[in-house]
Amino acid sequence: MSRQKVLSSLCGLIVVDKPVGMSSMDVVRRVRRAAGKAKTGHAGTLDPLATGVVICCLGKATKSVEKLMGQPKIYETEVDLSAFTQTDDLEGERQEVEVPTPPTLAQVQAACQTFVGDAIQQTPPIYSAIHINGQRAYKLARKGETIDMPTKIVRIDAVDVLDYTWPTLTLSIKCGRGTYIRSLGRDIGKKLGTGGHLASLRRTAVGDYTIEKSHPIDRFESPITQDDLLPVPE
């Protein structure tokens, strides 16, 4: 049997620490190449500016993608409260907000807790992959079209303040599937009467698959073997 066929029979999961600038599909392509072109998919998108956990499923493990996407996720993010942006992150042009008196830590903590619950209403960023009339929202936004973004209900289990030194707010967030952390940063700013956009975003866990179990992207310059893979969840 050829090496190509041996590698293409791989089955299992591998956790990747996605770097800034790569899309989740860029990660999949890198892993697939290292796995001898085995069938490969990912269990949850990360924006190019975000870093951290991307679970890649190989072979028959791709059948577990939906189950894995339903696992709770943990993020760490820095929110810049001094400005909004169109993209709700660093890619968009800054829209400065004058804040005569920055909010106190107690006010920030109270505002964050209003976004914890099983039925939090959220409006996705206009620069997102949501379909609007059959087209991606970000494509319409780039054309300068006015977009009426639909709201959605998401689950946010915890929003904990790790650090706050005006204008930077550092948060740890545990949430369910489909939550936009960019929207959360923006909405916390609106609640406080400040600006709000993400200066950084890192996913540290998807269920039990943590950043400590991840591989750097350069690991996939060499072949993946079955011993490198985690078992498929039951």
Sign, CA torsion 18/20/25/27: negative
Report yes or no: 86 and 137 within 8 Å, Cβ to Cβ.
Answer: no
Three-class secondary structure of residue 219 per DSSP: helix
Q: Dihedral, CA atoms, 30, 182, 205, 109, nearest 10 degrees? A: 160
* DSSP 8-state secondary structure symbol assigned to residue 115: T
Asked if the peptide bond before residue 233 counts as cis, ω within 30 degrees of 0, the response is: no
Q: At what angle do helices 105-113 and 181-192 cross, to 10 degrees?
A: 130
Q: Which of 50, 179, 185, 203 is nearest to 108 (CA)?
A: 185
Mind telling me the catalytic residues?
47
Tokens for 17, please give them: 């620490």
